[in-house]
Structure 1
Amino acid sequence: MPQPATKTRLPRAERRAQILTAATRAFARHGFADTGLDEIAEEAGVTRVVLYRHFDSKAELYRTILDQACARLAERVGTDDFEDDAIPALLAAASEDPDAFRLLFRFATREREFKNLTDSLSTAAITVARSNLAKQIPDGPWLDWASRLIPTMTTDAVIAWLDSGQPDPETAAERIRTAIHGISQAAAQPPDHT
């Protein structure tokens, strides 16, 4: 485990980036509630005093990580439409920073303090999915169902892909796209009762 290295003076921006990277790793192991500031300081190789010079609280540190993850994701994937390149972009964003992706879509959803952020992400994803699916699924409960299921299934599929060691990155996007297509097809077609 890294030892506190208080003698190495980094420029403020570099030290802050170092703390954010280390905190992301630490939070990704146990989530917000079960990760202490001492664990984060040790992971970053700094003291708690140095942590408090950069962040007023553990919650502020976590929120900063989540905000950065959201910004990187929006930059990579976009926010208003899911074109053919959305799934590969989502996989690329997740593989660039798996810990931040897991924090955003696995851990933060369980933390009451950050519910407003995760709820707004969920609402936005459902709205975009609904807009795209409305072209092929009639308005009604099945459109609602597919609009809610596809964003959840997609992020869960990406996390499962990360957790499985990122197998076959060349075909992963197409496999996820096939699952999404299956959901939209099930919602668009009435079941055959013959």
Structure 2
Amino acid sequence: MTAASGGAQTARPTRLPRSARRKQLLAAAQQIFVAQGYHAAAMDDIAERAGVSKPVLYQHFPGKLELYLALLDTHCDAIIAKVQDAMHSTSDNKERVKGAVRAYFDFMDHESEAFRLVFESDLRNDPQVRQRMERVEQGCIAAVTDTIISDTNQESSAAELLASALVGACGQSAQFWLANGRRTPRAEAEALVAALIWRGIASFPLQGSATGGTPAEIG
């Protein structure tokens, strides 16, 4: 507290812990990057949106690229985690497919529009950005590959190919649905895509099935 004229006292601005400040700055940066794209965004705009001075912003992030990459890391990790959770949260393969589809639709349909940073970046030619895009794809494919190998005993190369097809279908369909104005209600869109994928993946027999039955027959 500091003394003011007339005996009044004013409080000093609250100083946020470093982790909280970083979260605040990332949230402000995301709004600017989503609205303006990387190239048009300015650190001045981000600092103003966060309500801090530029020196404070630079204390946490040495430059615009580092700030952008930190955001990408956050959202790339989130997508991978969603797909991993879809694989690990149930042993019902039909539900796993639904969960993988839902993970992509959740991300694409989120009000933050963070998907634009990952799938519509105007900085895709930058090696560090491209590396993160590839990490998202490979991380999601790996999660599905492990499940396919565990359940069907497919060779790793075949399982990875199947996982790539599943992940590709989830991502492309969710992007198409959003780009075309959500003309199909989301629940219906998810069900359609999941049904298409399931009809393909269910034709591969479960490992250890005495009857040679398919996942569809068993689950």
- Would the TM-score normalized by the shorter structure come out above 0.5? yes
Q: Which one has a bigger Cα radius of gyration?
A: 2
Looking at structure 2, the residues matched to 80 and 167 of structure 1 have their Cα atoms a distance apart, in angstroms, of: 23
Looking at structure 1, the residues matched to 14 and 189 of structure 2 have their Cα atoms a distance apart, in angstroms, of: 42
Measure how far apart 1:61 and its partner are: 1.2
Looking at structure 1, the residues matched to 199 and 86 of structure 2 have their Cα atoms a distance apart, in angstroms, of: 22
**Letter paired with 1:39:** D
Aligned to 1:123: 138
Gaps of 5+ in 1: 1-6, 186-194
Looking at structure 1, the residues matched to 144 and 81 of structure 2 have their Cα atoms a distance apart, in angstroms, of: 18
Looking at structure 2, the residues matched to 91 and 10 of structure 1 have their Cα atoms a distance apart, in angstroms, of: 37
Q: How is 1:44-193 mapped onto 2 (pairs within 5 angstroms)?
A: 44-78=50-84, 81=87, 83=96, 84-96=98-110, 98-107=112-121, 109-128=124-143, 148-163=164-179, 164=181, 168-178=185-195, 180=197
Alignment partner of 1:99: what SS? coil
Measure how far apart 1:23 and its partner are: 0.8
Q: Is the Cα contact below 8 Å between 1:23 and 1:40 reproduced in 2?
A: yes
The alignment's C-alpha RMSD in Å is: 3.9
Q: Is the deviation greater in 145-154 or in 46-55?
A: 145-154
Q: Is the Cα contact below 8 Å between 1:87 and 1:173 reproduced in 2?
A: yes
TM-score scaled to structure 1, two decimals? 0.66
Alignment partner of 2:40: what SS? coil
Looking at structure 2, the residues matched to 128 and 152 of structure 1 have their Cα atoms a distance apart, in angstroms, of: 13
Q: CA 1:91 to 1:42, structure 2 compared with 1: closer, same or farther past 3 Å?
A: same
Q: Is the deviation greater in 57-66 or in 116-125?
A: 116-125
Instruction: Give the percent of matched residue pairs that are identical in Structure 1 and Structure 2.
Output: 23
Looking at structure 1, the residues matched to 44 and 172 of structure 2 have their Cα atoms a distance apart, in angstroms, of: 31
**Letter paired with 1:11:** L
Number of matched residues? 181
**Letter paired with 1:67:** D
TM-score scaled to structure 2, two decimals? 0.60
Find runs of 4+ consecutive structure 1 residues off by over 6 angstroms: 131-136, 142-146, 182-185
Q: CA 1:161 to 1:8, structure 2 compared with 1: closer, same or farther past 3 Å?
A: farther
